[in-house]
Chain A
Amino acid sequence: MYAFTYHRPTSLADAAKLAGAHSDGKVIAGGMTLLPTMKQRLAAPSDIIDLSRLDDLRGIEVKDNVVTIKALTRHVTVANSAEVKKAIPALAELAGMIGDPAVRNKGTIGGSVANNDPAADYPSACLALNATIHTNQRAIKADDFFVGLFETALGEGELITAISFPVPQKANYQKFRNPASRYAIVGTFVAKFADGVRVSVTGAGSSGVFRVADFEKALSANFASSALDGKSVAASGLNSDIHADAAYRAHLITVMAKRAVDAAK
């Protein structure tokens, strides 16, 4: 790990000021992504701004059919939240599938969404549930937030404060995971709303999480796994690696989407 200067702000305003003042710096939440990359010397921030004392950024609220999860809320908290389990069980299940217990004890929703790893789980929930990402400056629709590989619409010094998820009629997340890294090889999130179905895929796209318009149309007309018979995503544009080639990932997307439809509740 390269050397850095450490800051421990106690308010969001101070954290944002520090993040704005140190353009080569990084904020740290759970550290479950940032520290491994710094240890591998893939990241060398000049400054580390520790968000751990911003207690206002922790907590879950369900109101007016919207679940709002503050940025520093840990995966373990979402996975075990009675409120989330009741409102959007698929979201609690997704949080419980991230990494392992020690990762879930530290990793946060804000860190996961800000990082936009192409194989991370939360970005798929944000897209399929039509979430809004709230920052210290504005509110951004998930459709506009995930720009590319590890790239988001966040500007310099812009921090995620919360993410709000509209409650769907039914939803489910199916993850085909890499047994070693525990990240998704393919993960498919299906959400049925009164005005239509949204389907997102993580783990597979060569530019990160994406929606599948063709599946959404078929499922909006008929919310049954048979509506996806014969449908598939083109393998071009999907990742190929030692774990799964693009054709296999394309196949998995349909399989996992069907399973998600069958399991949706």
Chain B
Amino acid sequence: MPTVSMTVNGKSVSADIDPRTLLVQFLRETLQLTGTHVGCDTSQCGCCVVHVNGDAVKSCTTLALTCEGASVVTIEGLAKGDELHPMQAAFRENHGLQCGFCTPGMIMTSVEMVRRKGHDLDEHTIREELEGNLCRCTGYHNIVKAVAAGAKAMAAQGK
């Protein structure tokens, strides 16, 4: 079995894996980082979004072997100890989740959205950018509010 090595949430990891292993399986099953979810098998729901070298990607549609040498950040890598990342805090404050299944992907997508689109996001931009993230519970309204607030809070904290 080939070996894969990468950095996940700042820690170097390495394992022998079946070439078929998807990044999401590597994260959840090999590393036990179960915050990244799988909500579909058609690459459409976005529950599995993580950052690979800074880009938000669907870890269910990425081979772990392709990530050799990459730096990966998952939802577990955002908070600093007990202190939530401003985007996580904004989702909590704005009631941007109900069951929470879609939330890790929503937050990882939103953090990258802020990096690409800046801290002052209007509703239209947020809705367009969340096109690849499906939520069965909230109706999106509070998610959009949370992302706008989280983006502002990130600016205030220099993120």
In whole angstroms, what is the CA distance A39 to B62 when docked?
A: 11
State whether the Cβ of B113 lies closer than 8 Å to any Cβ in chain A. yes
CB-CB contacts below 8 Å: A176-193 with B = 180-182
CB distance from A176 to the nearest CB of B (A): 16
Residues of B contacting A99 in the complex (Cβ-Cβ under 8 angstroms): 132
State whether the Cβ of B153 lies closer than 8 Å to any Cβ in chain A. no
State whether the Cβ of A4 lies closer than 8 Å to any Cβ in chain B. yes
Segment of B8-16, B37-45, B139-147 in the binding face: B37-45
Using CB atoms, name the residue of chain B closest to A2: B20
Segment of B28-36, B51-59, B83-91, B92-100 in the binding face: B51-59
| Known pairs A8-B68, A35-B63, A182-B131; A3 contacts B19 (CB<8 A) | yes
Among A99, A100, A102, A181, residue most surrounded by chain B Cβ atoms (within 10 Å): A102
Residues of A contacting B109 in the complex (Cβ-Cβ under 8 angstroms): 101-102
> In the bound complex, do residue A36 and residue B61 qualify as a contact, i.e. CB atoms below 8 Å apart?
yes
> In the bound complex, do residue A100 and residue B131 qualify as a contact, i.e. CB atoms below 8 Å apart?
yes
In whole angstroms, what is the CA distance A32 to B132 when docked?
A: 13
> In the bound complex, do residue A8 and residue B65 qualify as a contact, i.e. CB atoms below 8 Å apart?
yes
| Known pairs A5-B19, A31-B62, A35-B63; A106 contacts B57 (CB<8 A) | yes
State whether the Cβ of A65 lies closer than 8 Å to any Cβ in chain B. no
Among A100, A101, A103, residue most surrounded by chain B Cβ atoms (within 10 Å): A101
> Among A5, A32, A102, which residue has its beta carbon within 8 angstroms of that of B49?
A102
Residues of A contacting B55 in the complex (Cβ-Cβ under 8 angstroms): 76, 105-106
Using CB atoms, name the residue of chain B closest to A105: B55
> In the bound complex, do residue B65 and residue A50 qualify as a contact, i.e. CB atoms below 8 Å apart?
yes
Using CB atoms, name the residue of chain B closest to A34: B61
Residues of B contacting A181 in the complex (Cβ-Cβ under 8 angstroms): 44
Using CB atoms, name the residue of chain A closest to B49: A102
> In the bound complex, do residue A36 and residue B19 qualify as a contact, i.e. CB atoms below 8 Å apart?
no
In whole angstroms, what is the CA distance A180 to B42 when docked?
A: 11
| Known pairs A101-B113, A101-B129; A6 contacts B2 (CB<8 A) | yes
| Interface residue range, chain A | 20 to 34
In whole angstroms, what is the CA distance A32 to B66 when docked?
A: 13
Residues of A contacting B66 in the complex (Cβ-Cβ under 8 angstroms): 28, 31, 50, 52
B61-82 vs A, Cβ < 8 Å mask (1 yes, 0 no): 1110110100000000000000
A36-70 vs B, Cβ < 8 Å mask (1 yes, 0 no): 10011000000010101000000000000000000
> In the bound complex, do residue A103 and residue B132 qualify as a contact, i.e. CB atoms below 8 Å apart?
yes
State whether the Cβ of B104 lies closer than 8 Å to any Cβ in chain A. no
> Among A8, A52, A106, A180, which residue has its beta carbon within 8 angstroms of that of B44?
A180
B interface residues with partner A (beta carbon < 8 Å): 2, 18-20, 22, 41-44, 46, 49, 55-58, 61-63, 65-66, 68, 109, 112-113, 116, 129, 131-133
A interface residues with partner B (beta carbon < 8 Å): 1-6, 8, 28, 31-32, 35-36, 39-40, 48, 50, 52, 76, 99-103, 105-106, 180-182
